[in-house]
Structure 1
Amino acid sequence: MSRHAPALLIVDMQKAMQQVAAGPRNNPLAERNIAELLHAWRGADRWVVHVRHLSRSPGSLFWPGKPGAEFQDELAPLAHEHVVDKNVPDAFTHSGLERWLRVRDIEALVIVGVSTSNSVEATARSAGNLGFHTHVVSDATFTFEKADYSGVRRTADEVHAMSLANLDGEYAQILDTRQALNLG
């Protein structure tokens, strides 16, 4: 494994995210782009980390043992790929992820997955604060529509764009799939 190449961090790509109950979303091609990046990382023998959200609420779609908590088939980890379980949005909180990366001298991350406005943003903020060279792939992440603090309903595209703006330049560099594929 190349320690100088960034690790691919795939956040919460679980079956529950494919259900209509999650709500209207953006980036309908995000899964295709994530799969393309995953294929490239595997082909180049680079580090891949899969993050799985496991809820602490028994009624949640992400409750351990429920079908929604399972990884999406086309993005499921291989036996040698690292899996991080979390029960809060930030993949670094109480998970051992930072230590796992540091032990392997991994200094850069490419973050993809869901949702841009929650787990992706929380994880990217921590990664940037911890000193990792952090990249978030705009077309390999997605989110859902949401009301803002004033009660105004925002489209998933608006929520996504704001989350990327929150991260850009301060915590992470925002790339698209083509640019991410060219990272060394």
Structure 2
Amino acid sequence: MAQAALLVIDVQQSFQHRDFWQEEDVPAFQRHISALIEGCQAKAIPVVDVFHVAPQGPFALDSGWVKRMDFLQHEAAFSVQKHVHNALTESGLLPWLEAQGIDTLIISGIRTEQCCETTARVASDLGFKVLFVSEATLTFPMTHNGVTLSSAELIHRTETVLINRFAEVVSVEACLARV
């Protein structure tokens, strides 16, 4: 029987202090990730909080913003800090997952195309089954060479590059039905 864990990646107050923060997609994100967390807890699936920490700015520990966003009230089974884009490198998470017999990772969190996608890719390379719950991820528009990609376009791009390679892309409902 597969053993799963839910990763709640970088859902921290630090993001609310970045210049790209937008509220537009936040209410739907909050509903989806809250439903995913509640559903996983009801199935006794451990929830792991992952926090990004940087030497300075809003992601620095001394900023006071490296803590859960206020809407999150769950009890985490484990919590780690990371200093790179993926949650598995040098955070202490990988040995914990191995000790728990976890073979399936459910990915949720902030910056769909960055820390969530990178964690999914690394997890797949390490042999984990990955369920990427894109509706329980959040990102913000990005501009490069004068072209702006919307949040929806970035999420679609992430789903496109992950599906059938690194992860199974699922809705909250489908994820909870699978685990």
Normalised by the length of structure 1, the TM-score is: 0.88
1:32 corresponds to which residue? 31
1:155 corresponds to which residue? 150
AA of the residue aligned to 2:122: S
Structure 1 range deviating more: 12-21 or 42-51: 12-21
Supply the distance in 2 between the matched residues of 1:30 and 1:73 (Cα, whole angstroms): 14
2:7 corresponds to which residue? 9
Alpha carbons of structure 1 residues 26 and 54: separation in structure 2 relative to 1, 3 Å: same
Supply the distance in 2 between the matched residues of 1:52 and 1:86 (Cα, whole angstroms): 6
2:72 corresponds to which residue? 75
Supply the distance in 2 between the matched residues of 1:27 and 1:181 (Cα, whole angstroms): 22
2:130 corresponds to which residue? 134
1:25 shift after superposition: 7.0
- Deviations 1:1-42, CA, capped at 9 Å, x for gaps: xx7342111100001334572334774311211111111222
Unaligned 5+ segments in structure 2 are none
Structure 1 range deviating more: 35-44 or 19-28: 19-28
Alpha carbons of structure 1 residues 23 and 74: separation in structure 2 relative to 1, 3 Å: closer
Normalised by the length of structure 2, the TM-score is: 0.90
Supply the distance in 2 between the matched residues of 1:117 and 1:20 (Cα, whole angstroms): 17
1:66 corresponds to which residue? 63
1:143 paired with 2:139, answer yes
Q: CA RMSD in A?
A: 1.9
Verify the 8 A CA contact 1:26 1:142 in the aligned structure 2.
no
Q: Percent identity?
A: 29
Any idea what SS the aligned residue of 1:69 has? coil
Alpha carbons of structure 1 residues 180 and 18: separation in structure 2 relative to 1, 3 Å: farther
Supply the distance in 1 between the matched residues of 2:39 and 2:16 (Cα, whole angstroms): 23
Verify the 8 A CA contact 1:116 1:164 in the aligned structure 2.
no
Supply the distance in 2 between the matched residues of 1:129 and 1:71 (Cα, whole angstroms): 28
Unaligned 5+ segments in structure 1 are none
Alpha carbons of structure 1 residues 182 and 38: separation in structure 2 relative to 1, 3 Å: same
